[in-house]
Amino acid sequence: PNPVPGRLLTPLVSWLLGLRGEGLLLVVLAVCLALPVLAARHALARGLGKAGAFLFAAALATTLVVRTSLHCGCYPDVVTYLALLGVWVWRARPGLAGLCWFLALLDHERALLLGPWVLAVLLDASRDGPGRRRLWAWLAPALAAVLWFALHAWLESRRPAEHSLASYLQPLLTDPLHNLRPYGLRPLVGWGSALQWVWLVPLVWGIGLVRGRRWRTLTVQVGLPVAGASVAMLAAYDWSRMAVLAFPCLLPALEAGLAAGGAWRQRLAWLLGAQALTPQVFTAWYIVEIMPSWLLPW
């Protein structure tokens, strides 16, 4: 009996590779490397050059997008984030993007909270495409959600009674702020810890969207990821982990900024230097900790 049987993907991949027990950590470590490498490859494909690719990868690797799993190997969160990165990279190919979202859901059910973002970015990317692509922009996320829900429901039926979903949600139905109210400023610290200094990238980009009155872009690419992460923080008190769910708002901001030229890249390089030298905070429940070896992962 498993208290979280629906979080299937990483254990399944590890098992299929013959990595049993603590061997799963090798899978998580490999994805900690794969995510920034593939992010850099995406930046190169977008014509951002080698320096832009390095900065793009560093913006993810120096935050809890990678650091969570790098330092807490039992949390395969980086696998979820790699799948969500795939949604963004393949947003013009709805079938592949839908598959990536399905894999993210299999890794952790909180990816469901990014469903509105997934649907919106697929629709935006398919707006000027052929009718078949626009159809798949609706159909692929719907199929992913239905297939995941059927599998998840079957797996949840095998969950021990003391860990049932109803028992978990009951306090939240009585008080939606149950996981926030008793803990003072710790949830806000947890929110800031997700990206730390790198939060400035989507913040500055978002201000530019407001000035340009690009309300739909602001809502879809910033508002929906932030809203999904905020709901996740209501549902669970490991706030640093939950807040990282907003990281997709960083992706278009990085693409736009790195394409803008040298001055923006220089500022980002200084920002990432500050990020690399700032101790990494991690917050959950009554705990506010500085991650050990936050600068030297080995």
Would you give per-residue pLDDT tens digits along the chain (298 residues)?
A: 677 888 999 999 999 999 999 999 999 999 999 999 999 999 999 999 999 999 999 999 999 999 999 888 889 999 999 999 999 999 999 999 999 999 999 999 999 999 999 999 999 998 887 888 889 999 999 999 999 999 998 888 877 665 666 666 777 777 778 778 888 889 999 999 999 999 999 999 999 999 999 999 999 999 999 999 999 998 888 999 999 999 999 999 999 999 988 899 999 999 999 999 899 999 988 888 888 766 654 4
Residue 218: left if φ>0, alpha if ψ -120 to 50, beta else—which one?
alpha
Q: Tell me, yes or no, if the pTM score tops 0.85.
A: yes
Cβ neighbours around 76 below 10 Å, total: 26
Buried-state track 98-118, b at ≥16 Cβ within 10 A, e below 16? bbbbbbbbbbbbbbbbbbbbb
Identify the burial level of 163 via C-beta atoms within 10 angstroms of its C-beta, where 0-12 means exposed, 13-18 middle and 19 or more buried: middle
The two tokens of residue 108 are 């952790």
Q: Shortest CA distance to 238 belongs to which of 110, 113, 149?
A: 110
The two tokens of residue 3 are 């208290």
Helix (H) or strand (E) holding 263: helix 262-277
Give the pLDDT score at 170.
74
